[in-house]
Chains A and B, each alone.
Chain A
Amino acid sequence: MSLRIANQVRRGPAVTLSVDGQAVEAFAGESLAAALWAAGRRALRQSPRAGTPRGVFCMMGACQECLVRVDGQRALACQVAVYADMRVETGAAT
């Protein structure tokens, strides 16, 4: 079962992102955090001091746990919308 709730909405065009070199299917306009979440990519980085895995936590740009690289730039996954061929690197941000 997909985490995307099917009956409530018609999503936009399907797009493919590259996440750490692997293809991930998502929908244009979707939040990158949601797209990664739906793809089961929950650990997005490691905390710099203890090195423990972290992922989406606040969904509002406050906690900074969803920091990834998007097309080479640091970005919060919960604050950017996906587009076709977006290149995402997890774990590489710090």
Chain B
Amino acid sequence: MIRDPEILILGAGPAGVGAALALADHGVRALVVDSGFAAGGQVYRPMPDTFAPNGTPGLGPDQEEGARQRRLLADSGVATAFGRLVWSIGTDLRVDALGPDGPEFWRPKGLVVAAGATERVVPFPGWTLPGVMGLAAATILLKSQCMLPGRRVVVAGCGPLLFAVANAVVKGGGQVVALADLAGPGTWLRAMPALLGRPGDLLQGGAWMARLAAKGVPLMFRHTVREARALGAGLKVSLGAVDANGRPMRPARDRTLEADSLVVGHGLIPSTEALRLLGAEMYFDAEAGGWVPRLDDDQRASRAGLYAAGDGTGVRGAVGAFLAGRIAGLTAALDLGRIDAGQHARAAGPLRRRLAQARRFGRAMSRLMAPPSGLYDALDAHTVVCRCEDVTRAEVNQALESGAADVNQLKSWTRCGMGPCQGRMCGDTVAQIVALRTGSRAAAGAWTARVPLRPLNVEALAGDFDYDDIPLPTAAPL
């Protein structure tokens, strides 16, 4: 590992790898930091190196693309720091991480934030039960662990991952008890041209749909999870119809199914904490998944030395992430004076054209993943909104009624978002509820970004020390 990178890349998903490769091409001393133990990010999460693949794993050609990117990264000679969680970034670009060797920090000249996305799950009664897991979460279990999320699984939510996961479950020998899609077939048909613009991609929704139907998997379009209840070691899952806005319909015809597990997700949310910590200018873009940084065409954020790429700048998928990462890397090389504007333009031009294409696909995908607003109306008073603190919708409403004007004031008054997930699981839902009152997500606001970016073990952070090693400041006045 190197001590003095010129550019530090936060995240070794496709966006981070793209940036690293571009920087390596131009001789920039870069360091990629990731909390995981190998490059690949969420989409190309590798299997443990103790595993030997044996044919094509459940989620298809992604494993190969991931392996290719890891090879390219290794060959590029770019320094990597895996197993390091970045927990603080200062406005002087000091980046602090905690890893196996305790706390460490770097002071790069520039920072490429490629932190990816987290999954959105819109709450429903029973969503906190063990056995209920995210849809994207299930992809991790399937692709990196070759493990089924259950023997009999209900797959629900929206977006292309629905079919990817259902298909992988069937392929792995599991049973999909039902697939409940918030969208109707018409939505998919309309999105198809853009989605097919990326043949060979794993999100081959149409083909999978057909395959699942052929296998006898009940495909329930315009349906949602009403409720999950524990039943022995498994679950009882109620599914019901919704209208085009996600509002419940025909409750008398709800169906209750027994299953091992429920896999449910409603799209992805860009992870922007690092950027917000640095005061980067943000705006709300529902279609991109939420709050995203304002970037110029070259992936520069609103302050010098700060670049961003990938799903953390708006959910556009793995291909777009890699291309945007490359452009970010080129731009950082340009700003360091390693290449000139002409070289930058020549290299970035073709990337940008491909990126535009990838974004067309990405946008179609994001549209499919965006939860319809009616889902939030359907959230009843007793439903837990904040998992960590067990804050219910009713408690959120009470705080709003007693004058909480934005998400941060609501957080102070209810502890919603104060738990160890740091508001990652409830933030989007809460903001959506606040926005019902304030009129817009912009007015509802976003959690103030706080350090540490993830919970940290005190023992690991404090390390071994004597009293004399504590840098005590001068005493307060008496």
Q: Which residues of A contact B (CB under 8 A)?
A: 1, 3-5, 7-13, 27-31, 34, 37-38, 40, 42-44, 47, 49-50, 52-65, 67, 73-74, 78-79, 81
Contact = CB atoms under 8 A, between A and B. Distances in A.
Chain A binding site: helix, strand, loop or mixed by DSSP? Answer: loop
17 contacts: A1-B173, A4-B147, A5-B57, A5-B146, A5-B173, A7-B54, A8-B54, A8-B58, A27-B51, A30-B50, A43-B130, A56-B130, A57-B387, A57-B425, A58-B136, A64-B419, A67-B420
Contacts of B50: 11-13, 27-30
Nearest to A67: B420
Contact of B388 (A5, A13, A64): A64
Contacts of B55: 7-8
A5 B144 CA distance: 11
Contacts of B119: 58, 60, 62
Interface string B108-141: 0000000000110100000011111110111011
B421 interface: yes
Given A4-B146, A74-B457, A9 B421 contact: no
Nearest to A41: B130
A64 B130 contact: no
Nearest to A11: B51
B421 A79 contact: no
Contacts of B129: 52-53
Given A30-B48, A42-B233, A56-B137, A64 B420 contact: yes
B118 A58 contact: yes
A30 B259 CA distance: 25
Most buried by B among A27, A40, A62: A62
B455 interface: yes
Contacts of A42: 130-131, 233
Most buried by B among A3, A7, A13: A3
Contacts of B419: 64
Contact of A79 (B35, B132, B137): B35
Interface string B398-437: 0000000000000000000001110011000000000000
B145 to A, nearest CB: 4
A37 B51 contact: no
B148 A3 contact: yes
B416 to A, nearest CB: 11
Given A7-B55, A62-B119, 4 more contacts: A28-B48, A57-B137, A60-B119, A79-B35
B42 interface: yes
Interface string B141-167: 110111111110000000000000000
B52 A9 contact: yes
B353 to A, nearest CB: 32
